[in-house]
Amino acid sequence: MSEKNTKVWTIAEAANGKLKSVSYELLARGRSLADACSEQLVSVLIGANVSKAELTTLIQHGADLVISVQDPALEAFIVETYSNVLIDLVQQMKPNIILAAATNNGRTLMPHVAMRLHTGLTADCTDLQIDLTTGDLLQTRPAIGGNILATIKTPNHRPQMATVRPRSTQPLPADPSRTGHILQISLKPELVDKRVKLLSFEAETADESNLQDSDVIVSGGRGMKKADNFQLLHDLASLLGGKVGASRDAVDRGWARYPQQVGLSGKTVLPKLYIALGISGAIQHLAGMKTAETIVAVNTDPNAAIFQVVDFGIVGDAFQVLPELISRLEERKS
C-alpha cells in the first residue's frame, strides 16, 4: 500500500478529565514503533473536559502531536459517535498504525471502526514489533485460552490496527523537556449519533472493581471452603494494597462475584503479584493469570497444576498460612 501513510497513532482514554494510565502505556509502545521507522507519534483523544495541562502530559510521555477532539457531546462514550469521529480523522490524515487500549471501550470502538474502514484489527496484543522491510506491524497476542501466542499481520490493508492489553508494558518516565504540538479539532455536529442515550452511570465502589488495574491480586478457590473465609483474603489483599479475585468454582458457589472471576470465562489479569489460595490451577483458570509477573500459590495438594506456574509455592493448608502471613505483614506495617 501507499508508502506515505506513515504515522503511528495511539488512542488516549480519559475518565472525569483525567487521562488513564493506559494512554501512557500505549505511547511507550508507539514510541518504539515510531522510532524504529523514524515517524511521528500522534496521540488522539476523543472526549470532554481534559485540560491542556493534562494533554501536555501525553507529550511528556512520548507524543510528538496530540490531536484532541473535545465536546460536551463526547462526554459519554457512545460508540457510534466515537467511531464516526475517529473514522473522519483517519480518512483525513491517513495514519499507518493505530494502537488502542484493550479496555471495554477500546474493544468496542476499534472493531466498529475496523469494519467500516475495511481493515484488520488484532485483539489484545502483548507484543508489537515492526518489520522494517515491509512496514508490517507484527502483532503478538495470546489466543485459545492463553494456550498459544499468535503473531498476526495486516499485509494489504491500512491502517494496521491493534488493541493492546492494559498493564502489558510500563509507560516511559515523564520528560518535561519534550516538546510537541496540541491540535484542537472541533467536533463536526453531523458526526454525532443521537440514537443511543446514556441514562446514568454508577461508579463501582465495591472491592472487585478494576481487578485488571490492580498490582496485587489475592484469589481464592474451592479450597477456601466457605464464603466467610474470603474475609481472610480481603485482609491479606488490603495489607498488600490489592484486590480479591476468585476461581469460577468459588464464584459459582457465591463466595465471590462474577467480576472477580479470573480465567477463560472471566478476567485476564496481569498483576505484579498473583497469590492463589485453594485453587487447583485448571487450564481455564491459568488462562487468566499465568502471565502475571510473580505467582505465589498455597495448596494442600503437592501435585496441584497451579504449582507448575508458580514462582513460589507452599504445599500446605491455607488456613494455617493465611493467619500467620497476615499477622506478620501487620507487624511489619506497625
Ligand X SMILES: Cc1cc2nc3c(=O)[nH]c(=O)nc-3n(C[C@H](O)[C@H](O)[C@H](O)COP(=O)(O)OP(=O)(O)OC[C@H]3O[C@@H](n4cnc5c(N)ncnc54)[C@H](O)[C@@H]3O)c2cc1C
How far apart are CB 183 and ligand X at their closest, in Å?
30
Q: What do you get for the CA distance between the two ends of the chain, in Å?
A: 63
Closest CA to 4 of 183, 152, 159: 159
- Cβ proximity to another protein, 244 vs 295, nearer residue: 295
Among 63, 69, 100, 121, binds ligand X (CB under 6 A): 121
Task: Tell which positions 197-216 bind another protein, by CB under 8 A.
Answer: 197-204, 209-210, 212-213, 216
Closest CA to 90 of 109, 64, 62, 71: 109
How far apart are CB 133 and another protein at their closest, in Å?
14
For position 311 contacting another protein by CB under 8 A, the verdict is: yes
For position 324 contacting another protein by CB under 8 A, the verdict is: yes
Task: Tell which positions 252-271 bind another protein, by CB under 8 A.
Answer: 258-259, 261, 264-266
- Cβ proximity to ligand X, 19 vs 250, nearer residue: 250
Task: Tell which positions 61-120 bind another protein, by CB under 8 A.
Answer: 76-77, 79-80, 83, 103-105, 107-108, 110-116, 118-120
How far apart are CB 237 and ligand X at their closest, in Å?
17
How far apart are CB 158 and another protein at their closest, in Å?
10
For position 124 contacting another protein by CB under 8 A, the verdict is: yes
Helix or strand holding residue 182 (H, E): strand 181-185
Task: Tell which positions 202-241 bind ligand X, by CB under 6 A.
Answer: 221-223
Q: Quickly tell me which residue has 498459544 as its cell.
A: 148
- Residue 135 C-alpha cell reads as 512496514
How far apart are CB 67 and ligand X at their closest, in Å?
26
Among 67, 78, 85, 152, binds ligand X (CB under 6 A): 152
When CB distances are held under 5 to 8 angstroms depending on the partner's kind, the choice from ligand X, another protein, none that residue 299 binds is ligand X
Q: At what angle do helices 52-60 and 21-36 cross, to 10 degrees?
A: 40
Buried b / exposed e across 75-106, counting CB within 10 Å, b at 16+? eebbbebbbbbbebbbeebebbbbbbbbbebb
When CB distances are held under 5 to 8 angstroms depending on the partner's kind, the choice from another protein, ligand X, none that residue 103 binds is another protein
CA dist 142 and 123 (Å) reads 9
Question: With the C-alpha atoms ordered 222, 227, 228, 230, is the resulting torsion angle positive or negative?
Answer: positive
Distances (CA, A) of 36 to 29, 137, 160, 296, 298: 11, 11, 16, 37, 44
When CB distances are held under 5 to 8 angstroms depending on the partner's kind, the choice from ligand X, another protein, none that residue 116 binds is another protein
How far apart are CB 222 and ligand X at their closest, in Å?
4
Among 10, 154, 229, 280, binds another protein (CB under 8 A): 154
Long-range pairs for 15-20 at CB < 8 Å and ≥24 separation?
Answer: 16/49, 17/49, 17/50, 17/51, 17/54, 18/50, 18/54, 19/45, 19/50, 19/54, 19/57, 19/58, 20/101, 20/103
Distances (CA, A) of 120 to 102, 162, 247: 15, 8, 34
- Residue 176, SS3 per DSSP: coil
- Cβ proximity to ligand X, 104 vs 265, nearer residue: 265
Residue 278 backbone class (left: φ over 0; alpha: ψ -120 to 50; beta: rest): left
Task: Tell which positions 240-259 bind ligand X, by CB under 6 A.
Answer: 247-250
- Cβ proximity to ligand X, 241 vs 323, nearer residue: 323
Task: Tell which positions 255-284 bind ligand X, by CB under 6 A.
Answer: 261-266, 278-280, 282, 284
Q: What is the contact surface with ligand X in residues (CB under 6 A)?
A: 121-123, 141, 143-144, 148, 150, 152, 221-223, 247-250, 261-266, 278-280, 282, 284-285, 288, 298-301, 304, 317-319
